[in-house]
Amino acid sequence: MSRRLRKAVFPVAGLGTRFLPATKAVPKEMLTVVDRPVIQLAVEEAREAGIEHFVFVTGRNKAVIEDHFDKQFELETTLKTRGKTKELEMLISELPSAGQTSFTRQQEPLGLGHAVWCARELVRDEPFALLLPDMLIHAKPGCLAQMIDAYNSHGGNIIAVEEVPHEDVHRYGVVDVGPVQASGAQKIKGMVEKPKREDAPSNLIISGRYILQPEIFAKLEIQKPGSGGEIQLTDAMLALMTDQEFHALKFKGKTYDCGDKIGFLAANVAYGLARADLGPAFRKALNEILAADKG
């Protein structure tokens, strides 16, 4: 029987240099897809999957993320006075309960592996989910919920993966897998962080969603810097593979890499079109823009 997953970690310490000047004073995780910050969408995915505690690994200039997941008395009072009940109910229903969030800081940008290691005292001795908020996944049920099904069959460690064109593999972690099993998952035989196209074992990339066992922290503690001179989670997972099983799950859904401008713009279009309240009017506006652009 797999140990129940209660906690999720969100690494949000990155500088967001690709989005300057927008990210001079606003953390990249607070950039919005339609009307929700990217980080909120990741938290919603975790919540929908049954996660009860949300651990954020932040950094300098990220305090607004903490404020975002806090109660805003003044705002709530104003909404109440003005009779804006719908907005008020939405704010309240989307807020994690008291005690459900924890924040710690990655003091230096030493890599994703180091960021995850910074959460060790908050996660302690239990399995946890890890969601990289840059990778926005549009899926129903959500990607993490799909992974939990695989976790309930296999236990151990589960990584969400997807196929990308071979020319893009150098931007990601890449896995080598065995045959598809009854659960839909595949046993992982190897993995490598940001390989050259010719060295990549496949075109199956790590999509920024993980279910990990707490033994990963001991591996991260001694992990030497790898690709890009950073402490890489992929290298520590590879080390843990000698002791524990890892499975890859090709989830059903569409990923938008919001760490990239095109991915971020595409996410806004896709999420806008998918919204019942905005979709029809937005489609019309988009069609007009596209028609004018052709001419």
Residues forming contacts to ligand G1P in the complex (CB under 6 A) are 112, 132, 134-135, 172-173, 193, 205-206, 208, 232-234, 259
Give the residue from 90, 57, 92 showing the smallest Cα distance to 73.
92
Give the residue from 19, 40, 41 showing the smallest Cα distance to 262.
19
Shortest spacing between CB 171 and ligand G1P, in angstroms = 7
Give the residue from 110, 115, 102 showing the smallest Cα distance to 227.
110
Angle between helical axes of 73-81 and 85-94 (0-180°, round to 10): 150
Shortest spacing between CB 294 and ligand G1P, in angstroms = 33
Shortest spacing between CB 92 and ligand G1P, in angstroms = 32
Nearer to ligand G1P, 109 or 280 (CB): 109
Shortest spacing between CB 13 and ligand G1P, in angstroms = 11
Shortest spacing between CB 196 and ligand G1P, in angstroms = 15
What distance in Å separates the CA atoms of residue 157 and residue 115, rounded to the nearest whole number? Answer: 18
Give the residue from 189, 187, 243 showing the smallest Cα distance to 215.
243
Residues 42, 133 contacting (CB under 8 angstroms):
yes
SS (H, E, C) 233-284: HHHHHHHHCCCCCEEEEECCCEEEECCCHHHHHHHHHHHHHHCCCCHHHHHH
Residues 39, 12 contacting (CB under 8 angstroms):
yes
Nearer to ligand G1P, 143 or 206 (CB): 206
Nearer to ligand G1P, 142 or 173 (CB): 173
Distance spanning both ends of the chain, measured CA to CA: 61
Shortest spacing between CB 172 and ligand G1P, in angstroms = 3
Nearer to ligand G1P, 7 or 257 (CB): 257
Nearer to ligand G1P, 245 or 260 (CB): 260
Nearer to ligand G1P, 37 or 111 (CB): 111
For 263, the token pair is 């991915």
Residue nearest to ligand G1P (CB): 173
Nearer to ligand G1P, 49 or 112 (CB): 112
For 276, the token pair is 């019942």
Which amino acid does the sequence have at 222?
A: I
Shortest spacing between CB 293 and ligand G1P, in angstroms = 30
